[in-house]
Amino acid sequence: MRFITCLTIVIFWISVQTALIIEFSLLSASFDFLISFIVFLILFRSWQETWLVIILGGIAVNIISGAPMGVYMITYILLFIFFKNVKAYFHTPDSSLFIILVIIGVMVEQFIFGAFIFIQKSSVLLSMRTLRICFSQIFMAGVLSPLMLMLFNKIFYVSDRLISDDRRTYHGPIWKHGKKIS
């Protein structure tokens, strides 16, 4: 159920970003929404869910995008490595930490994309348009990430409740250490 929830969000998020958000000229340079989801998973959920989203989400976005294969997954893996222990070091409220990490994540992704394009085309990308895209993405990340945090919290709250209800209504045998208890 938890994994299904994660996959549903990944599919929904990618679809919203590529088919809906991109149509609005104001949000055309919007940041990668999956970053917010991955940061949420890193901070508040299990590593299994996080890795599932990193691998499947990374592949899915890469297939849709024109970016070189693996760039997105590399970005997400790096974010996982950078952020996995961050909660132990920074004692800030969860929401503030989430927003900051999403913004950092967006910046990391921009840097990785820039590096890849530089490797491919051997040209520096520092133009007004590049800077505008970067700032616009960081701004959008700052504005939208609190809303996304609320949304994820709500979705997982409902999903976890459904799981616990499922467990409560389980009528089959209960096993412990390979032995049937009842």
Rule CB under 8 A: which residues touch another protein? Answer: 14-15, 17-19, 22, 25, 28-29, 32-33, 61, 63-67, 113-114, 117, 120-121, 127, 129, 133, 137
Q: Tell the smallest beta-carbon distance from residue 159 to another protein (Å).
A: 25
The residue (of 97 and 109) whose beta carbon lies closer to another protein is: 109
Strands (E), the chain: 175-176, 179-180
Q: Tell the smallest beta-carbon distance from residue 93 to another protein (Å).
A: 30
Count of CA atoms in the C-beta half-sphere (13 A) of 21: 17
The residue (of 135 and 157) whose beta carbon lies closer to another protein is: 135
Q: Tell the smallest beta-carbon distance from residue 155 to another protein (Å).
A: 21
Token couple for 55: 């691998």
- State residue 42 phi and psi, 5-degree precision: -60, -45
Kindly report the CA angle at 165 between 163 and 171, in degrees rounded to 5? 105
Length of the chain: 182
What is the Cα–Cα distance from 72 to 110, expressed in whole angstroms? 11
Q: Tell the smallest beta-carbon distance from residue 98 to another protein (Å).
A: 21
What is the Cα–Cα distance from 154 to 112, expressed in whole angstroms? 31
The residue (of 63 and 158) whose beta carbon lies closer to another protein is: 63
Instruction: Write the CB contacts of 154 (distance below 8 Å, at least 6 apart in sequence).
Output: none
Q: Tell the smallest beta-carbon distance from residue 167 to another protein (Å).
A: 37
The residue (of 23 and 165) whose beta carbon lies closer to another protein is: 23
The residue (of 127 and 182) whose beta carbon lies closer to another protein is: 127
